[in-house]
Amino acid sequence: MEMEKLNMLLVLCLLLVLFVDAKTEEISSQISNEKVTKLRFYVQDLVGGDNPTVWKVAQVSNLTDTLPSAFGLLSVLDNLVTSGPEIDSEQVGRIQGVIGLSDFHEKALVMLLNLVFMEGKYKGSTLNILGRNPLDDVMREVPIVGGTGVFRMARGYAITSTYDVDEAHTHGVIQYDVVVFHYAHEHDIRFFDA
């Protein structure tokens, strides 16, 4: 009787191992479909004028005004994202979030941004940017740490540079060159191609 129970237990264990192995292979094949997407877009940064899209919400008393780095200045933004550098270029979406000057010695932003795609094949998807952006550098690299929709499980980077700033310093155009790794799942492809 004990031998039958032991044999039955071994058979069940073997079936469980085969089942888990089959499921692991299925999951592995679903997420091994990694894609690389490269994007270039332009952020229209309106810090002044009649319709600003960047708003100062806090600062560290008089310290912000006395340091050349403007340490402690905190702003929220909801900037237009376009396919070209001109403000009337095709609209891609919005970049929304919080930025703060967080370095005592140089103008460097800490950024928590969501790029929300509102048009085109990525409509409804987002990319999440979280990192340091030293504003005095010509080329700046910031990390892509996540995303939704087409960009679920995204990771990558964006190289940013100031494309143009008007004389009054109220409208800046920032170029973003993005490389993002993400996974294509079968149900995602059907959803976004529908």
Give the tens place of pLDDT for each residue, 129-150.
999 999 889 999 999 999 999 9
Q: Which residues contact 51 (CB under 8 A, 6 or more apart)?
A: none
pLDDT at residue 188 is higher than 70:
no
What average pLDDT score do residues 82-109 get? 94
DSSP 76: E
Q: Report percent pLDDT > 90 for the chain.
A: 58
DSSP 32: -
pLDDT band at 9 (very low <50, low <70, confident <90, very high): low
pLDDT at residue 42 is higher than 80:
yes
Residue that the structure tokens 């810090």 belong to: 47
pLDDT number for residue 192: 42
pLDDT band at 70 (very low <50, low <70, confident <90, very high): confident
pLDDT number for residue 191: 42
Q: Which residue, among 127, 193, 136, has the nearest Cα to 160 in the 3D structure?
A: 136
Global pTM reads 0.77
What average pLDDT score do residues 56-66 get? 83
Q: Which residues contact 161 (CB under 8 A, 6 or more apart)?
A: 138, 139, 140, 174, 175
pLDDT band at 59 (very low <50, low <70, confident <90, very high): confident
pLDDT number for residue 84: 97
Find residue 36's DSSP bridge partners: 181
What average pLDDT score do residues 79-101 get? 96
pLDDT band at 23 (very low <50, low <70, confident <90, very high): low
pLDDT band at 62 (very low <50, low <70, confident <90, very high): confident
Q: Which residue, among 96, 1, 119, 7, has the nearest Cα to 44 in the 3D structure?
A: 96
> What does the angle CA 166 – CA 134 – CA 114 come to, to the nearest 5 degrees?
80
